Amino acid sequence: MSDRIAAAQATLRANDRGGYTVPNPHIYPFQWNWDSAFVAMGFGTFNAARGFDEIDTLLKGQWENGLVPHIVFHAPADNYFPGPSVWGTNQSVPTSGITQCPVLASAARHLWEHAPDRALADARMAQIYPGLIRYHAWWRQTRDPHGTGLVATLHPWETGSDNSPAWDGPLARVPTETVTEIIRRDTGVVDPAMRPHAHDYQRYIHLVDAFRGVAWDPARMLAASPFRVADIGTNAVLLRANQDLMALGERFGTAPERAALAAHSDQMRAAIARQWDSAAGIFYARDLIADAPIRVGTSAGFLPLWGGAAPPHQAASLAATLGRWASKVAYLVPSTDPDDPRYEPRRYWRGPIWSVVNWMIARGFAAHGHSALARRIDADTRALVTKNGFWEYFDPRDGTGLGGPDFSWTAGIDLVLGTDGATPATSPSASSAQTSAAPAC
Ligand code: DGY
């Protein structure tokens, strides 16, 4: 085993709390939804059973209505704000009351397809598949009840890209007053210049207060939230996850489940196509309150490639857009267009590079025939770690590691890249999982 693989495995083991993995114990001392999805894939490269544990443990926090929360507070820790008492969700396992970018079913499929022990993989997948089906039904029923093809996200934390400049406009509608006293812990351990501003946190917590005030009732949250956006990243990732779940459903599910996923995917594909901006050469998120596109170029705008929602001419245009971005930075993929005045290369989701997003974008480009660009993105993802280690995020100009060190999902993706090789060959098609354990993503 190489030193690098040993170091990545050691990072996951150090952050392992027994069945779940904290992203970083000093900043995020609980289990996070999409972090755990990527971590499960990382564990899958050397211990598939432990990878399945990660998803099992996350699903222990699943709500009766199907929601998989963005944080599960399995054990107390006082170094994170907002903790369980602020959320006040009254679940038997304490959790937050919102969800997060729904990559879980795609990660589960990856884990299942790569597991060497097929009997174990089948047995473990059979256990988690019903939870994944309920989660996707929750997305359809509570976040797109009228079947528009776009699911709504009601909190910037749900998108995963918390302080993206894409949310500046919609978030400005959210009042800064809070019932809850804000006692931030993050800025005690990470340079505040790399984190969201105080005014962002006031609005984040205003939303939590508001949702707690309607007892986390999905319909009332959707109707009352002053922040309601169709994140292009969340929608593309859900479309991809729908297809991965359909592929798993061939073996583990029923025809009606697959039909519901297929119908939703058709609606989503059509709606995502309408978020394309041909002049800008990128997909935009949509403000569902203003009913208008959010014209900010972000790395999420490339994710319809991963979701399988971009025809060849749009893939070519996206490649040209990323080529322009590449001429402005040393490493790909900055989370905001480097030409945008709101681009901040060190502030969290306003510019830095995130390995997990790179991984999805690279596979999206590869699936559309842009292999050289895909290889460049993978090479950059690896080079950033070679240069600096498993940091939470990286400065696109010089690769400086930012946020927290020894970060679980960065190590997880490094393991996946080191194991799968640098040339991704993936498409969201359902075919390979139906019949074999051949890698699809
Ligand atoms: C944080 O606390 O920064 C997270 O992104 C919220 O989930």
pLDDT at 434 over 50: no
For residue 378, which of 319, 421, 441 has the smallest C-alpha distance? Answer: 421
β-partners of residue 31 are: 72
- Does the N-terminal peptide bond of residue 356 adopt cis geometry, omega within 30 degrees of 0? no
Q: Return the pLDDT at 1.
A: 84
From the alpha carbon of 160, which atom of ligand 1 is closest? 5
Q: Rounded to the nearest 10 degrees, what angle do helices 3-15 and 33-44 cross at?
A: 140
For residue 123, which of 250, 36, 251 has the smallest C-alpha distance? Answer: 251
**Strand (E) or helix (H) holding 285:** strand 285-287
DSSP secondary structure letters along 384-404? HHHHH-S-SEE-TTT--EES-
Q: Residues with Cβ < 8 Å from 436, sequence gap 6 or more? A: none
Q: Is the CB of 392 under 6 A from ligand 1?
A: no
DSSP secondary structure letters along 222-239? HHH-S--EE-HHHHHHHH
Distance 157 CA to ligand 1 centre (A): 6
- CB 239, CB 308: distance < 8 Å: yes
pLDDT at 211 over 50: yes
From the alpha carbon of 162, which atom of ligand 1 is closest? 5
Q: Is the CB of 195 under 6 A from ligand 1?
A: no
If pLDDT is split at 50, 70 and 90, which confidence band does 176 have?
A: very high
Going by alpha carbons, the residue nearest to atom 6 of ligand 1 is 157
Q: Return the pLDDT at 114.
A: 97
Distance 11 CA to ligand 1 centre (A): 20
Q: Return the pLDDT at 429.
A: 52
Q: Return the pLDDT at 421.
A: 55
pLDDT in tens, 78-121: 999 999 999 999 999 999 999 999 999 999 999 999 999 999 99
Q: Residues with Cβ < 8 Å from 36, sequence gap 6 or more? A: 20, 21, 54, 55, 57, 58, 104
Distance 431 CA to ligand 1 centre (A): 36
For residue 218, which of 173, 153, 263 has the smallest C-alpha distance? Answer: 153
DSSP 32: E
Residue that wins the pLDDT comparison between 389 and 431:
389
The answer to whether residue 162 is catalytic is yes
pLDDT at 425 over 50: no
The b/e string for 118-137 (b: 16+ C-beta within 10 A; e otherwise) is eeebeebbeebbebbbbbbb
Which SS3 state, helix, strand or coil, does residue 243 take?
Answer: helix
Rounded CA separation 392/285 (Å): 24
DSSP 21: B
Site to substitute for ligand 1 among 31, 33, 68, 157, most atoms within 8 A of C-beta:
157
Q: Return the pLDDT at 67.
A: 98
- CB 41, CB 416: distance < 8 Å: yes
pLDDT at 431 over 80: no
Q: Return the pLDDT at 395.
A: 98
Going by alpha carbons, the residue nearest to atom 7 of ligand 1 is 157
Rounded CA separation 53/246 (Å): 22
Distance 303 CA to ligand 1 centre (A): 21
The pair of three-digit structure tokens given for residue 138, joined into one six-digit string: 């929750």
From the alpha carbon of 70, which atom of ligand 1 is closest? 7
- CB 241, CB 105: distance < 8 Å: yes
Q: Is the CB of 347 under 6 A from ligand 1?
A: no
Rounded CA separation 76/22 (Å): 13
Q: Is the CB of 162 under 6 A from ligand 1?
A: yes
pLDDT at 432 over 90: no
Distance 6 CA to ligand 1 centre (A): 28
- The pTM for the full model equals 0.95
Q: Residues with Cβ < 8 Å from 47, sequence gap 6 or more? A: none
Site to substitute for ligand 1 among 162, 191, 392, 402, most atoms within 8 A of C-beta:
162
Q: Is the CB of 70 under 6 A from ligand 1?
A: yes
pLDDT in tens, 398-411: 999 999 999 999 99
Distance 163 CA to ligand 1 centre (A): 10
pLDDT at 426 over 60: no
pLDDT at 439 over 60: no
- Does the N-terminal peptide bond of residue 338 adopt cis geometry, omega within 30 degrees of 0? no
The answer to whether residue 64 is catalytic is no
Instruction: Kindly name the residue from 113, 231, 392, 395 that is annotated as catalytic.
Output: 392
Instruction: Kindly name the residue from 35, 54, 113, 162 that is annotated as catalytic.
Output: 162
